Amino acid sequence: MVSIFSQPVVTAQTFDLKAFDAAVTLAQSLTQWGFLIIAGSVVIVVGTSYYRPNERLVRRSYLLFLLAWLLMGMSIFRGIQVQMANVARLFESSPNLTEVRRTMTHDANAQIQYMEWSLWIFGVWLLCFSVWWVFHTPQSNATGNVP
């Protein structure tokens, strides 16, 4: 007796071509988010509408942005690689879909991993900066005003 839960035996590997399009859509979305996060963090660094810390340690914490930007740039690069693999698949007359899938999966996983690392660094910076902001008492300058 055959169970309705048994899987059919597949002799040849089949591919749902929509999966390739879904991978590209994910890569594009993550790439767009990456650019937005970089742009927002650049505004934080170069913006003048916030209080600039006087303490060197706090100011040096902004160096974490360089590492986070580098990782986010790697994430964006890997997302572009996913898109390039899909374009190569479309231009090939008989592409090796197993290899294309392997390449796209590897690059998509790397894109997500780099983005996660970058977001962790931004998160650690934000947590530290928030703790500093809450517990720091600004010193007044010579005119008696708080900078």
Give the domain ranges of the chain.
17-46+54-135
Cα(125)–Cα(59) distance, integer angstroms: 11
Tell me how crowded residue 104 is: count the other CB atoms within 10 A of its CB.
22
What confidence tens digit (pLDDT) does each residue in 90-141 have?
A: 998 888 999 999 999 999 999 999 999 999 999 999 998 888 888 887 766 5
* pLDDT classification of 45: cutoffs 50, 70, 90: confident
pTM of the model: 0.78
Tokens found for residue 90: 């479309």
Tokens found for residue 83: 């898109």
Give the pLDDT score at 8.
57
Statement: residue 89 has pLDDT above 70? yes
Tell me how many degrees the CA angle 131-44-58 measures, rounded to the nearest 5: 40
* Interacting residues of 147 by C-beta distance below 8 A, sequence separation 6+: 51, 52, 54, 138, 141
What confidence tens digit (pLDDT) does each residue in 47-73 have?
A: 766 666 778 888 788 899 999 999 999
Tell me how many degrees the CA angle 121-123-124 measures, rounded to the nearest 5: 65
